[in-house]
Amino acid sequence: MEGNIQTEVGPLRPRELLTLVRKGEIKPETRLRKDDSAWFPAADVGGLFEAAVRREVLYYCPACGQRIGPPPRTCPNCLRDIGRNEARVVVPEKVKGDIALHGQIDEPKEAQNSVQSWLKKKVAKKDKK
C-alpha cells in the first residue's frame, strides 16, 4: 500500500481496517472506498484514526491461556465459563506505525461502530445522487 503502487485489498471488516491503521499500513492519505463508491482519503473516515490510537484490550482464558473475546464468555479451547472479572487482561503499551497512544482505554466495539456509521453515511450520500 506504499508509494504509487495500486493495491486493492478487501472487503475489510472495521476491526481489520483499524488493525491496518495501527500497523501503519493505512495512512491518512491512503485511498479507500466502500463497495463501488468513489475513492477517498482515509483521513475522511470520521473517527478512524482516533479509534486506532485507543489501546486494544486483549483477554486470555485463565485456565488454558487461549486468547478470547471480551468476557463473560465460554473459552472455545477448554470450554471454561469465564466471568467478567476472571479473564486475564493485557493492554499493549504501543501500537506499530506512526500512531501514538493517548487517552483512556475504550472497547474496540465503539471504534468499530463509529467506522461502520461513517461508511453507511458515505454510501447513503452516494445513493441519493
- Residue range 57-75, pLDDT digits in tens: 888 999 999 999 989 999 9
Same domain, 63 and 103: no
Choice among 15-24, 51-60, 71-80 with the minimum mean pLDDT: 51-60
pLDDT at residue number 83: 92
**Would you say residue 2 lies in a domain?**
no
* Cα distances (angstroms) measured from residue 108 to each of 56, 94, 112, 123, 124: 6, 15, 6, 23, 25
More confident residue, 110 or 13: 13
Q: Provide the H-helix boundaries in the chain.
A: 14-23, 48-52, 108-128
DSSP category for residue 101: P
**Would you say residue 1 lies in a domain?**
no
Number of compact structural domains in the chain: 2
Strand order across the 88-90 sheet = 67-68, 58-60, 88-90
Same domain, 47 and 103: yes
Same domain, 21 and 50: yes
**Would you say residue 118 lies in a domain?**
yes
